[in-house]
Structure 1
Amino acid sequence: MKELEISTEEKILEAAEKIFLQDGYSGSRMQDIADLAGINKALLHYYFRSKDKLFEYIFDKKASIMFPSMEELFDKNMDFIEILDLFIEKYIDLLIKNPFLPLFVITTVNKPNSQDFIKKLPIGLQKKLVEAFMKDVSEGKIKPLNPLHFIISVISMCAFPFMAKPVIMQIANASEEDFKTIMQSRVTEIQGYVQVLLKP
């Protein structure tokens, strides 16, 4: 019985993740999730009493991986540009594996009364990036740009193509595999921009 319950819950969470990532909160229906999970709606409500509760669970899960784990990099004696190169590489790789993630998170945090969702985002990494940026500026290793605008620009260069994925695929006449290849090559493209912007 326990194995059946675990299996059913896993099916629900897998289906909910697909529906929420594709359709967002407002466009998703519990019936669609139940149909995709292969269960009836009553059983879905038995496990998760409301769409809000199910959505919150999926958001928590996805928000926790919105940015790659890079805490270990800040414990090493690395220059900001080296840290940022690895961040860009890991972030693009993460988004290739979760292409709906940026749009899902942005749509959610722009909903009315979204403060509880915003608090769940792992923003500590961005703060550490700004601190590393300021340290290298003070040592004359990089140009004294506005750190907030610079970090916003780098994250935007990484995430925006995934939010505009259908448009980019149309412009480039690209398949899913083509888009993945384009995003993989984007790593060195963004790293090159970073070098040009930051080198004194």
Structure 2
Amino acid sequence: MVKEQNTEDRIVDAAKKVFINKGMDGARMQEIANEAGINKALLHYYFRTKNKLFEKVFSLVFGDVLHVIEQAVTKETDFEQFLENFIRQYIRLLKNKPFIPQFVIHELNRKPERIVAQIQSKNVIKEQMFSIIERAVEKKEIRQIQPVHLVTNILALCIFPFVAKPMVKGLALDDDEKKYKQYINERPDEVVAFVKQAVLLR
């Protein structure tokens, strides 16, 4: 059982790499088998089709994103708690799994309805994130702003340094990996401070 689980994990990890580099349409099962260090017949034993394997990878990757949102927001969470929790947890996730933004962007371009359906199934953005922002506006804790603008601003501030790593590192950080890592370590504090400065009324 443990051996089977290890094999499946290797397949999923290999599939992530291939899907990220090639996308769903460009990926080939033989490439995934080669990356996992197994033969194609064994790959098909675990996942009969490329689509089933992609569904598995997608559910795991996007599940990580939704988990961060769910952890950051509850009905009792106030705005500043939400801001701190979400930004810090989301950037931590991207540090540990930097492939996520590219993977999600690939899928947004290929099949956007899949991501919309995943988000709607959890109701965490409109029913929880938006409501926290709306309450903060009503209480005059933050300036008047539409939740969709604030949420997309926060996401952009978190995601861009990972999506544009070659540009950020090459143009602003002397193409130095150590400087880039230090920059990423500084991002949570910088993003939290920037958003607070932009919207808090006190």
Task: State the TM-score, normalized to the length of structure 1.
Answer: 0.87
Work out the CA distance in 2 between the residues paired with 1:4 and 1:136: 51
What secondary structure, in the 3-state scheme, does the structure 2 residue paired with 1:145 have?
coil
Q: Hey, what does 1:131 align to over in structure 2?
A: 131
Q: Which residue in the other structure is 1:188 paired with?
A: 189
Q: Larger % of helix: which?
A: 2
Higher relative contact order (CA 8 A, sep 6+): 1
Question: Matched residues in 1 for 2:81 and 2:7: separation?
Answer: 45
TM-score by length of 2: 0.86
Count of residues in Structure 1 that have an aligned counterpart in Structure 2: 197
Which moved further from structure 2: 141-150 or 4-13? Answer: 4-13
Structure 1 ranges of 4+ moved more than 6 A: none
- Greater shift, 2-11 or 154-163, is seen at 2-11
Identity %, equivalent residues: 34
- Which has the higher mean CA deviation after the structures are superposed, 168-177 or 184-193? 168-177
* Distance in 2 separating the partners of 1:187 and 1:69: 16
Deviation string for 1:84-121 (max 9, x for gaps)?
Answer: 1221111111111111101111210221x542343124
Determine the C-alpha separation between the residues in 1 that align with 2:72 and 2:82.
Answer: 10
**Aligned equivalents of 1:129, 1:95: Cα separation in 2:** 20
| Conserved 8 A contact 1:64-1:121 | no
Q: CA deviation at 1:13?
A: 1.6
The answer on 1:40 being equivalent to 2:36 is no
Aligned position for 1:198:
199
User: SS of the counterpart of 1:65?
Assistant: helix
Note closer, same or farther for the CA distance 1:156–1:72 as it changes in structure 2 (3 Å cut): closer
Shift of 1:158: 0.5
| Aligned partners of 2:11 and 2:43 also within 8 Å | yes
* In structure 1, C-alpha distance between the alignment counterparts of 2:104 and 2:92, rounded to whole Å: 17
Q: Is the contact made by 1:16 and 1:58 (CA closer than 8 Å) also made in structure 2?
A: yes
Contact 2:130/2:148 (<8 A) preserved = yes
Distance 1:29 1:84 in 2: 40
Q: Distance in 2 between matches of 1:42 and 1:26?
A: 21
Alpha-carbon distance in structure 2 between the residues aligned to 1:101 and 1:58: 11
RMSD (Å), alpha carbons: 2.2
8 Å CA contact 1:13–1:58 kept in 2: the answer is yes
Q: Which amino acid aligns with 2:167?
A: V
Distance 1:188 1:173 in 2: 22
Q: Does 1:98 align with 2:97?
A: yes
Instruction: Work out the CA distance in 2 between the residues paired with 1:10 and 1:141.
Output: 46
What is residue 30 of structure 1 aligned with on the other side?
Answer: 29
Question: In 2, Cα distance between the equivalents of 1:72 and 1:88?
Answer: 9
User: What's the offset of the Cα at 1:54?
Assistant: 0.7
Equivalent residue number for residue 60 of structure 1: 59
Partner of 2:88: 89
Q: CA deviation at 1:3?
A: 4.4
